[in-house]
Structure 1
Amino acid sequence: MLKARVYDLSLFFISLAIAFGSSEILTVNSYYIKALIIFWFFSVLYFRLRVFYKNGSTNIEYGISYDLSMVLFAGPIGLLIFETIYRFTVYSYRKWTKTADPSELSDTFYNIGCFVITNSIAYFLFQHFIERFQTVPFGFWILMFLLVCISSYLSGTFMVIVFVILGELKSFKEGIDFIFRGISFFDYGKVAVSNGLLLFFLQNKSWEMLIIMFILNYIVSRSFYYKSQSIQNKVERDQFEQMAYTDFLTGVFNRTFMDKKMAELNQTGESIGIVVADIDKFKGINDSYNHAVGDKVIQHFAATLKSYLDVDDFLFRSGGEEFTLCLRKRNFDESLSLVNRMLGGIANNSVAVEYNGEQLFISYSASFGLYYYKVNEHISMEKGYILADELMLQSKQLGRNKVSVINGLLNEKVV
């Protein structure tokens, strides 16, 4: 951590040397102060719309930056003044709201140093190449785009060095991937156009257009922010729902989702095969080995059952070693044929487990009950499940490793 703090301060002092060693502020002081206030106000306003994510122990923020227009307008020292005021405003806000990280002060110096250095390099490149680019169509905009790309890649490089110091970089490729991370050329184009227009308005003292430009960017940024928040909230809700409806051991749906889905299927009036399957003599597996081995058998059983199903079918873990299946869009013969294939596939297969430091292969069988019928007001899904469960128990009583079946459409019983 000490090395990281030294690195942060080093960038800051390098930025001081560049700023004070380059030139004075390029504009009249009163003119610069007016621009400084506008840039500071809208940057603080935009700060709440920035996107944050965590990489290891480091918080990284993304948001459109207007530093390029500021440095081209006021020079490196003008940018240094702006960045210092803006970053310490953010620092004070985070301290006041108790949202500051333990390294907040050091990170503030890092941000000042990083943005001043990268944009100062862009400034010197602009001064050197602008006359050449003005001889080609859209040369100014092409140069602005290239400067935005260079600044972004340099900023990414500085951050990769932080990861190296903190030991959070696993490979050279990971560092390269971070530098060229998922920011599209459209994003670079947006930053280039925004900064180019702001520079024009600054140079022409078009204060109204400057403020309108900031307001427009704020409205667009706020719209994208709320849309991204909405998407993120939906993803989080979907993840929470998936967790609530998923059996953690096997990854299939749990009993809660089974009850919910059966209530929905009650309204369909479709012909459906309800299957209850249970591992034979499962208690003996646990007693002969241990519960970890038993869990492996359950996982294998669930995966085997799932491998036979289509996208419209459902598989639920309805008990300890009991699973319930809803076979849809099949007639009776197709449903019975599928269950028989499951029965044979399980009986002719084995699961690899580790026990007492050795790898063992355990064979097991299962008993099935299939009740096929058309969902209606007289026989609900819940009632169908009970009848299928009774058929599974009947298979157990008949010697296990069997399928007991009733075709509810014809009221025919098959053993």
Structure 2
Amino acid sequence: MVGARFFNFILFFAGLAVAFNVKTIPLNADHYVKVLVLFWLFSTMYHHLRVLHKTGNTTVDYGISYSLSFGIFAGPLGLFIFETIYRFTVYFNKKRTGTDDPEEFSDTFYNIGAFVLTYSAAYYLYNLLRPVFELFPFGYWILIFLLVCITSLLIDLLLIIVFLLTSDIKTVREAVDFIKSRSILDMGKTAFTNGLLLLFLREGEWGALFALFFLNYLVSRSFYSKSQSIKNKIERDKFEQMAYTDFLTGANNRAFMDKRMAELDETGEYIGIVVADIDNFKHINDTYNHSVGDQVIRHFAKTLKSYINGNDNLFRSGGEEFTLFLRNRNYRQCLDLVERIRRGIEESAVEAEYGPGTASISYTSSFGLYFYRIHHKVSMEKGYIQADQLLLTSKQHGRNRITALDGSNKQGNMPVSIPKQKLVP
């Protein structure tokens, strides 16, 4: 970090030397002050609309820089004055609002030095190459875009040096990836904006200059507001997913199950509610440990999920208990599916990490299936309670079996307890 601070101040004094080596500003004082105030005003307004990206200990902001057109028009000394006023305005505003980074003061000197050096180079290149490019159609715009590419590369190289000093970049590959992260569209937007600004400055078109600044601000603010809305929605969705997700298995939790039941209560559809749990789970925990037990629960959840489709739901409704909502099926299809699940679990084994090696653990599961049509007399909550009672019946009848009831049959079927390897029509 000390090396990075030292480098920041080296850049600043190098920029200072370049600026005062020129000694003059290539336009009269009144004209320069007008340009300075206008660029300072809109650069300050635009700054809070920039996209921030954190790279290790360093914050990089991305957005249109007006320094190219200002540097070409006002020269290195004029550019140095602008960057110093603008960057310290940003610094004091961040201090005032408490949004400054720990290295904000040092970074301010980096920004002044880096931008003065980079866009002073653009100033000299522009005056050197302009006579050549004027010979070609659209030569002015080609030159401006070329200067944007060169200055972007120079800024990236200076940033990479800072990242190397702070150990935020450690390999050549990381440095190349950082350079490649530049968007060609963003560079095109920067070239178009600065090219127009420079033309308007040269022609003294103050109205057009102001209009371009203001239009760019409105467009940037619109995109910023939209990106913030998208970001906020993503964050809300992420927090909602976290609130409704069981962290051990990745299945939905009981809170989401309650929410889903309330939604399904309004549908009036036929549904199969299945409550399942692991047989003799306490014995697994006592024989091995709770870590192994967790691995068995994850295996159970993964197996259940592998049998259902996108219309179905899986929830972890209790410790080793899971609930499934089977939709768009009749009673027989639900029963056949649950039997396949039961058999698949019985025939599989968990390779669990245990001690210095692994343990192969076989287990079985029991199920309660209640199939019915959702209506006001039998809500989803009551259907779940019925399926849970059917699971208890499976346990009482010896485990590793399904107890099912077709509640949609108006004749009123009795619960059917189905042991392994047997399906009762």
Listed one character per residue, the Cα deviations across residues 290-312 of structure 1 (whole Å, up to 9, x for unaligned) are 21111111111111111111111
- Where does structure 1 lack aligned partners over 5 or more consecutive residues? none
Partner of 2:196: 197
Shift of 1:42: 1.0
1:258 aligns with 2:257: yes
SS of structure 2 residue aligned to 1:129: helix
Partner of 1:135: 135
Partner of 1:244: 243
1:18-97 to structure 2, matched below 5 A, reads: 18-22=18-22, 24-97=24-97
Return 307-316 or 123-132, whichever deviates more: 123-132
Aligned equivalents of 1:169, 1:308: Cα separation in 2: 45
Shift of 1:50: 1.5
Partner of 2:119: 119
Alpha-carbon RMSD across the aligned residues, in angstroms, is 1.4
Shift of 1:171: 3.1
Listed one character per residue, the Cα deviations across residues 119-149 of structure 1 (whole Å, up to 9, x for unaligned) are 2222222222222222222111122112112
Aligned equivalents of 2:390, 2:396: Cα separation in 1: 10
8 Å contact from structure 1 (residues 23, 75) kept in 2: no
Partner of 2:416: 414
SS of structure 1 residue aligned to 2:59: strand
8 Å contact from structure 1 (residues 76, 123) kept in 2: yes
Q: TM-score, length-normalised on structure 1?
A: 0.96
Shift of 1:19: 2.3
Shift of 1:279: 0.8
Shift of 1:22: 4.5
SS of structure 2 residue aligned to 1:94: helix
Q: Name segments (4+ residues, structure 1) moved above 3 Å.
A: none
Aligned equivalents of 2:323, 2:211: Cα separation in 1: 62
Aligned equivalents of 1:353, 1:257: Cα separation in 2: 29
8 Å contact from structure 1 (residues 318, 324) kept in 2: yes
SS of structure 2 residue aligned to 1:243: helix
Partner of 1:98: 98
8 Å contact from structure 1 (residues 153, 180) kept in 2: no
1:152 aligns with 2:152: yes
| Corresponding letter in the other structure for 2:394 | S
1:350 aligns with 2:349: yes
Q: TM-score, length-normalised on structure 2?
A: 0.94
Return 146-155 or 18-27, whichever deviates more: 18-27
Partner of 1:337: 336
| Corresponding letter in the other structure for 2:76 | P
1:301 aligns with 2:303: no
1:272-311 to structure 2, matched below 5 A, reads: 272-311=271-310
1:382 aligns with 2:381: yes
| Corresponding letter in the other structure for 2:342 | L
- Where does structure 2 lack aligned partners over 5 or more consecutive residues? 418-425
Partner of 2:164: 164
1:368-407 to structure 2, matched below 5 A, reads: 368-407=367-406
SS of structure 2 residue aligned to 1:24: coil
Aligned equivalents of 1:5, 1:336: Cα separation in 2: 70
Return 361-370 or 65-74, whichever deviates more: 361-370
| Corresponding letter in the other structure for 1:207 | W
Listed one character per residue, the Cα deviations across residues 205-233 of structure 1 (whole Å, up to 9, x for unaligned) are 11121111111111111111111111111
Shift of 1:155: 1.4
SS of structure 2 residue aligned to 1:27: coil
Aligned equivalents of 1:369, 1:186: Cα separation in 2: 58
Partner of 2:421: none
Partner of 2:216: 217
Listed one character per residue, the Cα deviations across residues 45-69 of structure 1 (whole Å, up to 9, x for unaligned) are 1112122122212111112110010
Listed one character per residue, the Cα deviations across residues 69-102 of structure 1 (whole Å, up to 9, x for unaligned) are 0011011221111111100111111222222221
